Amino acid sequence: MLCFTGAVSVRAQRYDRGFDLNYTTFVEKGTWMVGGSVAYSTHKNDNYQFLIIENINSNGYRFSASPMFCYMVRDNMGIGMRFAYGRNLLRVDSASLNIADIGINVKDYYSLSHDMTTMAVYRNYIPLGESHRFALFNETQLAYTFGQAKLIDNHGTSLIGTYEKSQAVSLGLNPGMIAFVNNHIAIEVNVGMLGLKYNHTEQIHNQVYTGDLKSSQINFMVNILSIGFGVSYYL
């Protein structure tokens, strides 16, 4: 007599993880969401020292804006587009690096760059209990980025100028938390968690010499430097 117990063993190892498929509807099907975020930061160093880099005299800023729209194709599930623009300025008047008997000095270094990104996004929400005000969400982003940069370095007797043009394709996961302040307006915070990225950069130095860089990156860590805050409107 033969006895098969495989099906019983599989069933015996199924656990209740506490997920209910009939969870509360947090955002209804057919809802439109529009929103975005804006960030601006500046820095200024006066004879600052960072590890082995001394006498840093520099200033700069970072500006970014990211509008977004999304349509809920199902309850708690939406697809949409996000656009982003960023601009960076770094001006180093002087800095020195001393290692043993080797000294490297940087003077009158200037860098200006900007980038534009288009993303296809997919969002899903997980309500906290039966709450209609608080929820966790995850945003999956498939992005294409185009950027340009100008770099100028003064070596005393010569001035070196470099122009860069870059393109990148990336796939990322951005989990976060959202809270409604009223029936239509919500605030949210998210953080980069997983990313796949391919980047191609082309350079030209002093309109004569050219350079090329291709790189790929896989990140499986939470990036606390990519924390974002935003405001969205649901209608």
What are the structure tokens assigned to 143, written together?
């992005």
What are the structure tokens assigned to 217, written together?
């990156």
Q: Which fold has domain 21-234?
A: Porin (2.40.160)
Q: How many CA atoms lie within 13 A of 219 on its CB side?
A: 18
Residue 15 has a pLDDT of 44
Residue 8 has a pLDDT of 44
Residue 234 has a pLDDT of 92
Check if the beta carbon of residue 137 is closer than 8 Å to that of residue 127: no
CA angle 80, 227, 124 (to 5 degrees): 35
What is the distance between the alpha carbons of residues 110 and 175, in angstroms, rounded to a whole number? 36
One digit per residue, the tens of pLDDT, for the chain of length 235 reads 444 444 444 444 444 445 454 567 889 999 999 988 888 888 888 888 777 777 788 899 988 888 999 999 999 999 999 999 999 998 888 777 777 666 677 777 888 999 999 999 999 999 887 778 899 999 999 999 999 999 887 765 666 788 999 999 999 888 889 999 998 999 988 887 778 889 999 988 877 778 888 998 887 766 665 677 888 999 8
Indicate the domain borders of the chain: 21-234
176: alpha, beta or left? (left if phi > 0; alpha if psi -120 to 50)? beta
Residue 50 has a pLDDT of 72
